[in-house]
Amino acid sequence: MPAVPHVDIESLEHFDRIVAAGATSMTGWRVQSVPLVDRTSVLRKLKPAGSVFLGCTLEEEAATWIRDGGGLIFPAIPELPFDPYRGSLYTADELYAGLSSGYEATPDARIYAWSRQQDERGDTSRTLAAALHDHAIADALAELPGDRPWVGVMGGHGILRGDPHYRSAVLLGRTLARSGLTVATGGGPGAMEAANLGASLAAYDDASVETVLGELAQVPWFRPSIADWAAAGLAVRQTFPGDGGVSIPTWFYGHEPPNVFASSIAKYFSNAQREDVLLRRARGGIIYLPGAAGTVQEIFQAVTPNYYGDRATQTPMILVDTDHWTAKVPVWDVLQRLAADRPMASSIHLVDSIEEATKLVSA
């Protein structure tokens, strides 16, 4: 029996377009967070068998029609500071809405606070809501245009704005974006912010980059004030708009606020799922700037598929800064030993400059 094609409907406008095109059945429809309280008469003209409604607002008459006709309704979950059925990725403006009243007033802060409270309670509804949310984020991420290869940029969150390493990461992101690549980061501050910022500045000249770096250096880190740090970034982004690529942060690391320069933000509750998605999508290669435990975890998570894979499935892994990766955090020797006599040997690289790194990724 042939599979029924799915149709994802994530806005009222999309719903109306499909109906106007002559739809008579909702079989295969997946309707996410669409307000349908004024569409009862329209819904009753459509056969509901095989449809799924996720967190939509419906009049009881419409809900009864859908259930009785073989459709499935996932109700809204009350008392959540987020939509577990959302149909799109986040933006910085959404996560930082209300920032003028302090970071604690923003959706990002309130969602993190919710996650901590639910962890302490061990509430099953929290697990369900978080899982539904992360599934929705994964679905929205999969819908991003895939015409530009992703290159992951990993690195420490502690690099300050104004630091030479921050500037190098900005130039790296700009170079990658100018090469037609999508810059993808873990979404936090430091090296991750710098890479997304660099991508957003791909259309700007060197003088503009220096202007931006000078302005951001006035608020070098997110401590003591996340609000000041984020506001400085938002002001720069307003003056120098551009496509900053993708970031995939997590509320698991709630002490690390998301940077504002990524154009699409896929924020997860699950750190494991977030790491897997980020590394799996970065088929153009992964560049590792100096970092600590989180970056080391990302290195070895990417090593596993390379270690067991053949030559056709290798993802380039480029570690930048010989001294850092051989003396301060000496993982390079381990990588070489693992790669000995395996296809992985061709995919690991240790370099000292962003110029060298950009030549090793795949466009």
> What HEC string does 28-64 produce?
CEEEECCECCCCHHHHCCCECCCCEEECCECCHHHHH
Report yes or no: 265 and 297 within 8 Å, Cβ to Cβ: no
Q: What is the pLDDT of residue 102?
A: 97
Phi and psi at residue 242, to the nearest 5°: 180, 170
In the chain, the percentage of residues whose pLDDT exceeds 70 is: 97
User: HSE (CB half, 13 Å, CA atoms) of 77?
Assistant: 18
Question: Which are the contacts of 293, defined by CB distance < 8 A and separation ≥ 6?
Answer: none
Are the C-beta atoms of residues 138 and 273 closer than 8 Å to each other? yes
Residue pair 320/289 in contact (Cβ under 8 Å)? The answer is: yes
As a residue count, the chain comes to 363
Supply 41's token pair.
Answer: 């008469």
By the 8 A CB rule, do 34 and 12 touch? yes
Q: Provide the residue type at 135 as one letter.
A: H
| Residue pointed to by tokens 């920032």 | 99
**0.85 cut: is pTM over it?**
yes
Q: Which tokens is 140 given?
A: 């929205």
| Contact between residue 15 and residue 51 where contact means Cβ atoms under 8 Å apart | no
Nearest to 274 by CA among 344, 192, 198: 192
pLDDT tens readout for residues 164-193: 999 999 999 999 999 999 999 999 999 999
- Order of all β-strands in the sheet with 264-265: 264-265, 246-247, 182-185, 150-154, 286-288, 317-320, 348-351
pLDDT digits (tens, 9 = 90+) for 240-286: 999 999 999 999 988 899 999 999 999 999 999 999 999 889 999 99
- What 3-state class would DSSP assign to 142? helix
| Exposure of 135 in the CB half-sphere (CA atoms within 13 A) | 10
| Residues 51-64, mean pLDDT to the nearest whole number | 96
The reported pLDDT for the residue numbered 121 is 60
pLDDT at 1: 43
How many CB atoms are closer than 10 A to CB 67? Answer: 13
Helices (H), the chain: 12-20, 40-43, 60-68, 92-95, 107-121, 124-142, 164-178, 191-200, 206-216, 226-239, 271-281, 293-308, 322-323, 332-339, 354-358
What is the CATH code for 150-358? 3.40.50.450
Copy the structure tokens of residue 108: 């990002």
Place of tokens 């000496």: 330
Task: Give one word for 56, left, alpha or beta, with left for phi > 0 and alpha for psi -120 to 50.
Answer: beta
Question: Is pLDDT at 78 greater than 90 in this prediction?
Answer: no
* Beta partners for residue 286, in sequence order: 152, 317
**Which residues are CB-contacts of 347 (< 8 A; sequence separation ≥ 6)?**
306, 314, 315, 316, 317, 339
Among candidates 229, 200, 231, 216, which has minimal Cα distance to 162?
216
Beta bridge mates, 351? 320
Q: How many CA atoms lie within 13 A of 250 on its CB side?
A: 17
Domain extents in the chain? 7-74, 92-139, 150-358
The confidence score (pLDDT) of residue 122 equals 62
What tens digit of pLDDT does each residue of 147-167 get? 899 999 999 999 999 999 999
Mean pLDDT score of the chain: 94
Distances in Å between the Cα of 315 and the Cα atoms of 105, 136, 192, 334, 345 are 41, 27, 20, 18, 11
